[in-house]
Amino acid sequence: MTFKFTEENLKRIEEVKKKYPTSLAAVMPTLYIAQEQNGYITNEVMEEIANVLGVGKIDVLSVVTFYTMYHTKPMGKYHIQVCTNVSCMLRGAYEIWNFIKERLGIDHMEVTSDGKFSLEEVECMGACGYAPMIAINEDYYENLNKEKVEEILNSLLNSEL
């Protein structure tokens, strides 16, 4: 299935390109825009990015496979990332990780059968001073404990799909 950027996103990419000295440097923000439009990054998406930026597909592929924030398969409506790196781990990240796994019945990079949630164990997200923390889509939730996570999950479980 082919992928084409919307007109609006092509304009956004043009703006992004102006901020960087080379098109290669614009691969990461362009991938963000693509993921926002398509939900995840496919071969066709990478080809389109390579065409639009005038870079090699291998340049796009190497970024996609290096960073964990780009998804190569569909994720849930709410993509939950749990940091289990040192600061978060020392402050109870695994208790939170295990709690979410049990509560949603999914493991690392899995999606609930209704497509509402997906889960990912990640490295440091740069919020160590507020450990332990999780991210749900683009939002950070910090200074957490099991009870606070349960509250957050409950509000999402009760929300519309």
- Confirm if 46 and 63 have CB atoms less than 8 A apart: no
Nearer to ligand FES, 32 or 130 (CB): 130
CA 34, distance to chain mean position in Å, is 12
Piece of the chain touching ligand FES by CB under 6 A; list 3-11, 55-63, 104-112, 121-129: 121-129
CA nearest to 9, candidates 54, 48, 55? 48
Which runs of consecutive H residues, i.e. helices, occur in 75-135? 86-90, 93-104
Nearer to ligand FES, 41 or 93 (CB): 93
- Confirm if 4 and 13 have CB atoms less than 8 A apart: no
Q: Determine the Cα–Cα distance for residues 132 and 51; give it in Å rounded to an integer.
A: 41
Report, in Å, the least distance between residue 125 CB and ligand FES.
Answer: 5
Residue 72 binds to ligand FES (criterion: CB under 6 A): no
Report, in Å, the least distance between residue 130 CB and ligand FES.
Answer: 8
Piece of the chain touching ligand FES by CB under 6 A; list 30-38, 61-69, 80-88, 152-160: 80-88
Report, in Å, the least distance between residue 83 CB and ligand FES.
Answer: 3
Report, in Å, the least distance between residue 3 CB and ligand FES.
Answer: 33
Among 125, 135, 144, 153, the residue binding ligand FES under the rule CB under 6 A is: 125
Q: Determine the Cα–Cα distance for residues 46 and 57; give it in Å rounded to an integer.
A: 6
